[in-house]
Amino acid sequence: MKKVPTFEDLFRDCRRTAVHLEMRDAYMKSDPAFIDWKAGKTLDPAERWADWHAIVTEAASRGVEVRRARIVSTPVSEYIRFEHAVTDGLNIAAGEDVRWLSRRQATDIALPGNDFWLFDSSLVLLNHFDGEGENMEMELTEAPEVAELCEAAFAAVWKRATPHAEFELS
């Protein structure tokens, strides 16, 4: 396993595309932002996640196409409602294009076992979570067969997925 560079390093070195596939219904429910959202507090995503916002904005301003697809169970979980609520102010505002796909519509798509980022169609950052969506560990690989699987999976999901502005929570 290679030493994993920071997200800032990965985005700084990226030249063409950075795509992210998320397939869990909950992540890090201990996140203070999620806890605040559940408590009804108003969040400013660009302020709360300023570092992330800056990294993505910089990459997008260089012409990197940043896309994120989320496969979700329906009806959606409380955590997915949170993600949906902050997507405009965080992801879209930073320059990401985001789409959503009901898990029911993904049955016949060959998917990798883990969420991932794919940079320039060749560098894969795999995200490993425990059963509760906590304790993320990252693994970096340039294995061509992994990159090809991730690229094909993302393309298939993206083609079927609904743009964020049109996705209705159920």
Global confidence as pTM: 0.94
For 5, 54, 55, 123, 141, the CA distances from 2, given in Å and listed in that order, are 9, 26, 22, 12, 7
Q: Each residue of 47-86: pLDDT tens digit? A: 889 999 999 999 999 999 999 999 999 999 999 999 999 9
Q: Does domain 7-166 have CATH number 3.30.870.10?
A: yes
Helix (H, G, I), strand (E, B) or coil at 19: strand
Q: Each residue of 85-135: pLDDT tens digit? A: 999 999 999 999 999 999 999 999 999 999 999 999 999 999 998 888 887
Quote the pLDDT of residue 162.
98
Tokens of residue 82, six digits: 């949170």
Domain definitions of the chain by residue range: 7-166
More confident residue, 162 or 28: 162
For 42, 72, 83, 86, 104, the CA distances from 167, given in Å and listed in that order, are 22, 11, 12, 14, 15
